[in-house]
Amino acid sequence: MLDNVYWAMLHKLWGTKGNKILIQFLQNIQNIKGIDFWQLTEKEICEKFPFISQEMAREFVLGRDKINLDVEENKINKLNVRIISIKDESYPKLLRHIFNPPPLLYVQGNLEEKNLSIAIVGSRRASPYGKKVAYSFGQQLSEQGVQIISGLARGIDAAGHEGALVGEGGTVAVLGSGLDIIYPRENYNLYKRIINSGKGAVISEFPLGTAPLKLHFPLRNRIISGLAQGILVIEAGAKSGSLITAELGLEQGKDVFAIPGPITSPLNQGSHKLIKEGAKLVENIDDILEEYGQLSLFKNENKKRTIQLTELEKKILDSLCIEPLTIDEIAFKTELSVSSVISTLSLLQIKGLVKETAGRKFMTLN
């Protein structure tokens, strides 16, 4: 860990332009340690490592004096961040073999490789339908032990993570910023729940203090696809960043799945384009699992959901999605009295179909 802190500081000085050099150090040059490199002069660096330009050697020597290693290490320890290098055994195997793998990963939580990982990606401006589908697929896949990978963005990403936390497969969120800068801020509580769940992790290739710049997100996307065997696209517009993730996945030899939606919605133009180009159209999780020689218990398991419901309960359940609603909002949507909504919600909670969240809001679990 201590040696990785030195490499992390070098990474911080050079940024992603130093990725190839760091990989060369970490994979091919076994006799150099981070602490040893940290002490070298500009001349020594250029003499010992001819693949490092004089400009980068000078940039390092001038920059290292501005870094307080003790302060940086304290930041890392305070946030319980682990730094995993590409030479470490705990570095994800799938990620190790992509083009331009990150030399270092900054990790919070439990980063565990499962037998099957599926990325769920889609629009940030997702519809209630899209969020409900993403939550449902995240939950059902996770209940089958499948790990869900996504980017902690609002919309489809967040819904997929939320659903995955219900099952044992867990979830990994990949950031386009340092782990001390959670973006979007509205997903901070989701970030905390993932790292505290014991079955998920939040990771980044960017050092602490790195802002969520626009150019970071395409880089982030190659890690999302790199960690997964397949990519499931839900509600992607014609110019959605999710299409970049799908394209990267194809380049990496991954399977691409897409869920169709209304042809009148621009949110589905990208998804439908993927289907036309050969992505597998998906209606349930078995459409995904059968590609990997697995079949879920979903169809049998889902029979327990065929609980007898009154017309009132059905009406309220149909009005809910995974975006929590207040009692007044439910009453407005269903045109029912507040008292009827309250009593019916209590029954639906007992039946395990509805969950109450902060601020006395309610959401469906299916």
Pair (72, 132) in one structural domain: no
Residue at 112 is within a domain: no
Give every residue of the chain whose pLDDT is below 50, as ranges.
1, 298-306
Residue ranges of E strands in the chain: 82-85, 104-109, 117-122, 147-150, 171-174, 200-204, 230-234, 255-259, 280-281, 325-326, 354-357, 361-364
Residue at 151 is within a domain: yes
Pair (314, 202) in one structural domain: no
What pTM value is reported for the model? 0.81
Pair (175, 49) in one structural domain: no
Write down the pLDDT at residue 170: 96
Number of H helices, E strands in the chain: 18, 12
Pair (137, 58) in one structural domain: no
- State which residues form the domain around 144: 117-297
Residue at 38 is within a domain: yes
Write down the pLDDT at residue 305: 44
Total domains present in the chain: 3
Write down the pLDDT at residue 304: 39
Pair (141, 287) in one structural domain: yes
Q: Identify the bridge partners of residue 256 per DSSP, sorted by sequence position.
A: 231
Q: Could you give the 3-state DSSP secondary structure of residue 119?
A: strand
Q: What are the structure tokens assigned to 95, written together? A: 């990620």
Q: What are the structure tokens assigned to 242, written together? A: 């999710």
Residue at 232 is within a domain: yes
Residue at 49 is within a domain: yes
Residue at 88 is within a domain: no
Pair (150, 261) in one structural domain: yes
Pair (312, 231) in one structural domain: no
Residues belonging to the chain: 366
Q: What is the CATH number of the domain that holds 337?
A: 1.10.10.10
Write down the pLDDT at residue 322: 63
Evaluate whether 288 touches 300 at the Cβ level (below 8 Å).
no
Last residue of a domain, one of 47, 78, 109: 78
Pair (42, 168) in one structural domain: no
Evaluate whether 340 touches 312 at the Cβ level (below 8 Å).
yes
Q: What is the CATH number of the domain that holds 251?
A: 3.40.50.450
Pair (270, 191) in one structural domain: yes
Write down the pLDDT at residue 262: 86
